[in-house]
A and B are shown apart, each in its own frame.
Chain A
Amino acid sequence: MDQVKIREYDKNKNPFRLFGAHVAAVGEGIKHAIKPKTITLRYPDVSMTLPTNYRGMIRLYKDVCIGCSLCAMICPADAMKMTTWEGKKLPQINYGRCVFCGFCVDVCPVDALRETRVHDAAFQSRRELVFNPDKFNQDFDQTLPVKGTVRKVRAVIDENKGIRYVPDE
């Protein structure tokens, strides 16, 4: 066992030191008011591209699927269900239940499921959240209802600013 070192904080309440600490706090505030380190992203005018291995919406490759139902078995939220579709056993997903854990993608023995990097989506009704195998078979793409073009950015870690957004592609 290591040496136990019990620390104590500085209890000095000298008025001059307190005044100095006040000045330091206000000074720090002013410094950040002049040169702010904001990391706000002006969504949806600016939209973030997520990293390559991000666990976003899932897409199915219908022709590759062998209908083994492992994805439905491992799904922790019962989002993935097997259905009979055009005479073949295929999974359907309910995004209202999905927790995006990515277990189904990892367990699929033939890589018929893949994660996309898309995560921002909106639906009109709950029924739309259920993707039948045909809808599930397409790349999910929803254009944002924004005038003009959406600027795509990528977050990088910066030593001085924390997070910096750089234009993507």
Chain B
Amino acid sequence: MTAQPNVFTMDATQIDIVPIEGELNVGPQHPGSGHLRIYVKLNGDIIEKAELDVGYVHRSVEKLAEVRNYMHLIPLVERPAILDSIHMNLGYILALEKIMGVDVPDRAQYLRSLAAEINRIASHLYGTGILAVFLGHSTGFMWGFGDREVWVEVLQALTGARVTNSYIIPGGVRRDLTPTIKEMIEKAIRYQRKRIPEWKRIFLNNPNIRARLENVGVMSKEQAIAWGAVGPNLRGSGVYYDVRKFEPYAAYDRLDFEIPVYKEGDAYARVHVRFNEIEESMKIIEQIIKEIPQGNILSDRFFKQIPPTRLKKHYETHGKIVFPGYYASFRPPKGEAISRVEAARGELVYYLNSDGSPKPYRLRMVTPSYRTIYVFEQLAKGARYADLVAIYGSLDYFPPEADR
């Protein structure tokens, strides 16, 4: 048996430095947010090429949409991004409402924005937690998921389910805001405001985290536009773009909020964008609670179809909308529609084509993570292998959302 050379006492000149080329598979069982295989071609520890092998969590939403009727699709479109289900639901309903020509009452519009912003906070906290555990910062992981729990609890009180909300229906929303939920939201905002300085001390301003994220995965403004980055990743590169401002949906045209944009375009800037967005979202929620108008939460067209006895029993006492029989199977007129919403990870596009039957002819969804695939491949090129996870986490890439 030969004696092992002691690496600690060895002189650097004694070690032969051989340029090593090789391939590595990262995944598909990933400790992070889902299943994805990253095929990495290495030269030393520099990544020459990173190829994303997607499709492990493919759910066939687009094909299944052709054989289900419109209401059946609400839980289905939520499934790709279960932690961002309100946005997924909202985008689909907006496209459907365009085809049906439904007017949505003001209160329902505000409630949609409210649910969406609560969901955005929860989703960003989830993303931060995942980034933290990628960087080996387990505390951030626990904190992210712990803080998210508060917002999930609020959503549960509002919608009746933790993540599979199915809250938004054609013409409005399913449940009204009650004073108890209002109080819960106010408390949750106060809690989150107290937490942000703590987050900054342990995670954001922590020199270890800064060393891992600063100047890592730098994407210039031109590159971000050319590669088709969306959402916080685009805004982290200094591009002022947000669907909520440029093409307002729900109640966003009546709300006052800022879009955080950072100049640097590195992983650290993207994390900053997410943190600032959490703060902005809380401001939006406060405004909604203060300004929410009174009124119905379902379009008159459907509201009139609900039997008065049921209306009295459920809506007037519990603020719960019950469905008219119309929803069981309806035929929207022929037509096509496209809708855009700003989901937590970026712009989400739905294209819906109706041929007048109870089932859509075609549903196309372009999810934000799908558009991140190319950005990820480009950013990983030339980076150090250890930075792969930092880039992954900072892009907030969510495999099921990309695979659909």
Give the interface of A toward B (CB within 8 A): 1-2, 4-9, 11, 18, 21-22, 24-25, 27-29, 32, 37, 39, 50-51, 53-55, 68, 70, 73-77, 99-103, 106-107, 109, 111, 115, 155, 157-163
Contact = CB atoms under 8 A, between A and B. Distances in A.
Contacts of A28: 198, 201-202
A77 to B, nearest CB: 7
Interface string B249-285: 0000000001111111000110010001000000000
Contacts of B223: none
A103 B164 CA distance: 12
A155 B149 CA distance: 11
4 nearest A-B residue pairs (beta carbon) = A76-B72, A55-B160, A107-B323, A73-B328
Contacts of A55: 160-161
A157 B264 contact: no
B69 to A, nearest CB: 8
Contacts of B201: 21, 24-25, 27-28
A151 B182 CA distance: 28
B328 A9 contact: no
Contacts of A5: 258, 261
Interface string B137-156: 00100000011011001101
Contacts of A54: 156, 160-161
Given A6-B240, A6-B262, A109 B188 contact: no
Contacts of A53: 157, 160, 175, 318, 320
**B139, B190, B207 — which one has the most chain A CB atoms within 10 A of its CB?**
B207
A11 B166 CA distance: 43
Contacts of A160: 191, 194
Contacts of A29: 139, 202
Contacts of B195: 162
A7 B262 contact: yes
- Most chain B C-beta atoms within 10 Å of own C-beta, residue among A5, A51, A101, A158: A101
Contacts of A22: 206-207
A163 B150 CA distance: 6
Contact of A109 (B240, B258, B310): B310
19 contacts: A1-B245, A7-B262, A7-B272, A9-B272, A21-B205, A22-B206, A25-B202, A25-B207, A25-B208, A54-B156, A74-B327, A74-B328, A76-B73, A101-B74, A101-B166, A103-B71, A111-B313, A157-B184, A163-B149
B76 A106 contact: no
Interface residues of B, number: 64
B240 A100 contact: no
Contact of B71 (A2, A37, A74, A163): A74
B307 interface: yes
Interface string B28-43: 0000000000000000
B207 A18 contact: yes
Among A11, A53, A55, residue most surrounded by chain B Cβ atoms (within 10 Å): A53
Contacts of B325: 68, 70, 107, 109
B261 A157 contact: no
Nearest to A1: B245
Interface of B: 68, 71-76, 139, 146-147, 149-150, 153-154, 156-157, 160-161, 164, 166, 174-175, 184, 187-188, 190-191, 194-195, 198, 201-202, 205-208, 210, 214, 238, 240, 245, 258-264, 268-269, 272, 276, 307, 310, 313, 318, 320-323, 325, 327-329
Given A6-B263, A28-B201, A74-B323, A157 B272 contact: no
Contacts of A25: 201-202, 205-208
B63 to A, nearest CB: 16
A169 to B, nearest CB: 17
Contact of B75 (A2, A39, A99): A99
Contact of B191 (A73, A74, A162): A162
B238 A6 contact: yes
Nearest to B313: A111
A102 B264 CA distance: 46
B75 A157 contact: no
Given A74-B328, A99-B164, A107-B328, 11 more contacts: A8-B262, A9-B264, A9-B268, A9-B272, A53-B175, A54-B161, A55-B160, A74-B71, A101-B161, A157-B154, A159-B187
B212 to A, nearest CB: 13
Given A21-B207, A53-B320, A76-B76, A157 B328 contact: no
A37 B202 contact: no
A106 B174 contact: yes
A158 B191 contact: yes
A22 B276 CA distance: 22
A55 B71 CA distance: 18
B150 A162 contact: yes
A130 to B, nearest CB: 20
B122 to A, nearest CB: 13
Contact of B68 (A7, A76, A101): A76
A141 B76 CA distance: 29
Given A39-B149, A157-B154, A4 B191 contact: no
